[in-house]
Amino acid sequence: MIEVAILKNFDSGTYKAGVQLAGSLTTYFDNINVAKNIPTTAMITGNYVILAIPGGNPKDACVIATWPQGTPGGGGGDMYKSVYDTDDDAVVDAAELAADSLKLQGSTKAEVRDHAPNAHKTSHQDGGSDELSVAGLAGLLATPQTPAAHKTSHDYLGADEFPLIRPISQRLIPFINKVWTDINGFTAAHVGTGGFTIGFLYGNLYTGTTNNSRGLIYDTAGFWQAYAGYGYSWGTKLSIRQGTTQTIWIGLLNVPETPSLTQAHVAFYLDTSGNLWASSGNGTNGTQTDTGLDFTSGTKDWYLSIYGNATGLYFYVNHVLKATHLLASSYYPNSIVCHFTMYIKNATDGATRQVFCYPLNMFPQFAY
């Protein structure tokens, strides 16, 4: 309820007043609250006031405005500029937070009015607590950006290595295929009915039917193994065509004619039970790791590759890492010549065994 009344008295200490309802000679309100935004200078006895009575309860009545009697344009109130706009900015002081001690989002009125650009907040910068990110934004940035450092995990043998060796090796077969384009640089050996034939970009090793016959071919000069200063990678396709109960070696062996698990070597080894092993040795001790692959019947094609460096040996089958022989915990050759060897030997059942070896790709990582 809103009523118009006449101010009868005002106590600036308690900010309470007594009023008489306009047009009534008998209705008075004593000791009622006065809004604190009304300055004491405006509370002049005889002024008109606006009385708010919430719910019609006189105990809750409050004077919310005042103006002198007889002011032209009734209802204009006492909005004197000198009273309500003390800073002469055409805005009522109370509407602009009245005092500078009040904050807007933590800033004073004077600070809010300050439109001069401030220094960029360092916490928005790279590594800051609320760093700004351009991820997901379309288009080019206004200023050139320095390329980020190459992620080390993309490097050779990194967690998400870029597998460039596979597509490169597949395309360079005619140019670096040493085994089949320079057969004069290799030595062939066989026992019993074993032997080999050379086709276009492949070699066929076989045993014949005589017990313990073998077929063998290896490079004559060999490759110097010195992992502290050199690294290499090689790969070849092994295609098994006949039977089980055979022994197959393919890789780098110090003594190709008599492969063993302890001689200096880095190779894949297929035992007479058809299990494929990753194998290395230093001439005294050896390390063998089961790849989880086996050959029991029919035919089998595997692309075998080994990467070697100063850290260790990494054995891949069909471009999937199957075994790791680290320098600190495994045995493998160092500072010794090993020959790239392809070897097959049948068991004692007298059945013919046959294997195809496709082009060898040998990549030294440093000059030998």
- The pLDDT assigned to 63 comes to 92
Q: How many helices (H) and strands (E) does the chain have?
A: 5, 21
Check if 2-84 and 165-364 are the same fold: no
Question: Which backbone phi and psi does 323 adopt, to 5 degrees?
Answer: -160, 150
In the chain, where does DSSP find H-type helix?
81-84, 109-113, 165-171, 173-176, 178-181
Span 2-84 CATH architecture: Beta Barrel (2.40)
Residue 96 neighbours by CB under 8 Å, 6+ apart: 89, 109
For the beta carbon of residue 66, count every other beta carbon within 10 angstroms. Answer: 23
Domain spans of the chain? 2-84, 165-364
Question: Long-range contact list for 102-106, CB < 8 A, 24+ apart?
Answer: none
Lowest-confidence segment of 64-78, 175-189, 235-249 by average pLDDT: 175-189
Mean pLDDT of 21-46: 88
Q: Is the pLDDT of residue 133 over 90?
A: no
Torsion sign over Cα 204, 210, 212, 218:
negative
Q: Is the pLDDT of residue 258 over 50?
A: yes
Model pLDDT for residues 50-85, shown as the tens digit of each residue: 988 888 888 888 999 998 876 544 444 455 666 666
- Going by pLDDT thresholds of 50, 70 and 90, the confidence category of residue 168 is very low
Q: Which comes out higher in pLDDT, residue 54 or 225?
A: 54
What six digits make up the tokens of 193? 């009915």
Does the domain made of 165-364 have the CATH classification 2.60.120.200? yes
Contact 160, 341 (CB under 8 A): no
Model pLDDT for residues 86-129, shown as the tens digit of each residue: 777 766 665 554 444 445 556 666 666 666 666 767 788 877 88
Host H or E run for residue 187: strand 186-191
